[in-house]
Structures are given as structure tokens and as C-alpha cells.
């Protein structure tokens, strides 16, 4: 009898719940996916024309931005990245192209966060000598801020 009463109370409670409050899983639109992939590519693509604005508009413009490179260099915050551009601005550095392979992209349930994994090849030269990143693992997190996707965290590593 106690089990029947408990079951009835649960059914009554379920019917009485406001189902409009149930969290719905976000299904990314093609537009969101395309925009996130574009931003991911802009993190490298800007360098061919040295379009720093394209790069700076692809990452979070605040102190929370984090970038970790295979050289054990960690950048905390937008200003630290912005103030460390001498290498790329140098006429000795020439970006040739890049490719993103094996991209795995996921979105949060509310659609405000995206995270990814890929392998990137970044072809460059320094003083006419190759300065490439090849088969570099890249993971990152993007956040949609004021309608724009921005990289807020990224980590690069080489497989050993």
C-alpha cells in the first residue's frame, strides 16, 4: 500500500511540475558551427597577411584568456599576448599557410561554450628557413560573447 501511495504521489508531482523549466539540450546551428570553425582558423590564418586585428578579434579581450604553447610558454590575458607580437611582426617571419585536421567540436548544453580538439600544421619561415609547427595537437575553448565567438583558452602540444 505504501508503494502504491508513493507512486501516486510521484505521478501527481510530475504532472504538477512546470515542464517549461526543463533544460533543453542545445543543438548547434550550422551558423554557430561555421562561425566557430572560422574563428579557430583565424587564430592561424591572420598571420599570412599579418592582420593582427583578425587575430585579436578571435581571442577573448580580457585577463582571463590563457594560451599554452609547446615551448612551455604560457600567456595569461589578452594584453600579455598583444604585447608579445614582435616575432610575428618581424619581416623575418613569413606565414605561408595552415591546415586544421581531425577537428572534433562540441557545444555546451546552453550553446554559449564550444570546445575542440584538432591537429594543426602551421607552415612558416624565419629568415627564409622553415619554422613550422607540424602535427601539433591543439585543444581550446570558445565562448560566445555579445553574439561573437572568442577563444578563451588554448593549449598546444607535440606528441612524443
> For residue 117, what are the CA distances in angstroms to 22, 29, 35?
30, 19, 16
Please indicate, yes or no, if residue 13 is contained in any of the structural domains: no
Please indicate, yes or no, if residue 20 is contained in any of the structural domains: no
Please indicate, yes or no, if residue 66 is contained in any of the structural domains: yes
- Total structural domains within the chain: 1
Cβ neighbors of 7 (< 8 A, separation 6 or more) are: none
Please indicate, yes or no, if residue 138 is contained in any of the structural domains: yes
Please indicate, yes or no, if residue 125 is contained in any of the structural domains: yes
- Map residue 24 onto helix, strand or coil: coil
Q: Which domain holds residue 34?
A: 28-158
- Map residue 36 onto helix, strand or coil: helix
pTM of the model: 0.81
CATH number, position 46: 3.10.450.50
CA gap 118, 62 in Å, rounded: 25
pLDDT tens by residue, the chain, 160 residues: 454 433 433 333 334 444 444 455 656 678 999 999 999 999 999 999 999 999 999 999 999 999 999 887 899 999 999 999 999 999 999 999 999 999 999 999 999 999 999 999 999 999 999 999 999 999 999 999 999 999 999 999 987 6
CA gap 151, 58 in Å, rounded: 6
Amino acid at each position: 500500500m505504501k508503494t502504491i501511495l508513493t507512486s501516486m504521489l510521484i505521478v501527481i508531482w510530475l504532472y504538477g511540475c512546470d515542464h517549461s523549466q526543463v533544460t533543453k539540450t542545445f543543438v548547434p546551428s550550422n551558423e554557430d558551427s561555421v562561425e566557430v570553425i572560422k574563428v579557430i582558423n583565424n587564430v592561424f590564418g591572420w598571420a599570412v597577411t599579418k592582420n593582427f586585428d583578425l587575430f585579436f578579434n578571435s581571442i577573448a579581450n580580457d585577463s582571463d584568456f590563457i594560451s599554452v604553447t609547446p615551448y612551455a610558454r604560457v600567456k595569461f590575458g589578452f594584453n600579455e599576448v598583444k604585447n608579445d607580437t614582435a616575432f610575428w611582426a618581424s619581416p623575418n617571419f613569413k606565414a605561408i599557410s595552415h591546415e586544421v585536421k581531425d577537428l572534433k567540436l562540441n557545444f555546451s548544453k546552453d550553446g554559449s561554450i564550444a570546445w575542440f580538439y584538432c591537429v594543426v600544421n602551421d607552415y612558416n619561415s624565419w629568415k627564409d628557413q622553415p619554422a613550422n609547427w607540424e602535427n601539433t595537437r591543439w585543444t581550446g575553448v570558445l565562448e560566445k560573447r555579445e553574439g561573437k565567438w572568442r577563444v578563451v583558452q588554448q593549449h598546444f602540444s607535440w606528441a612524443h
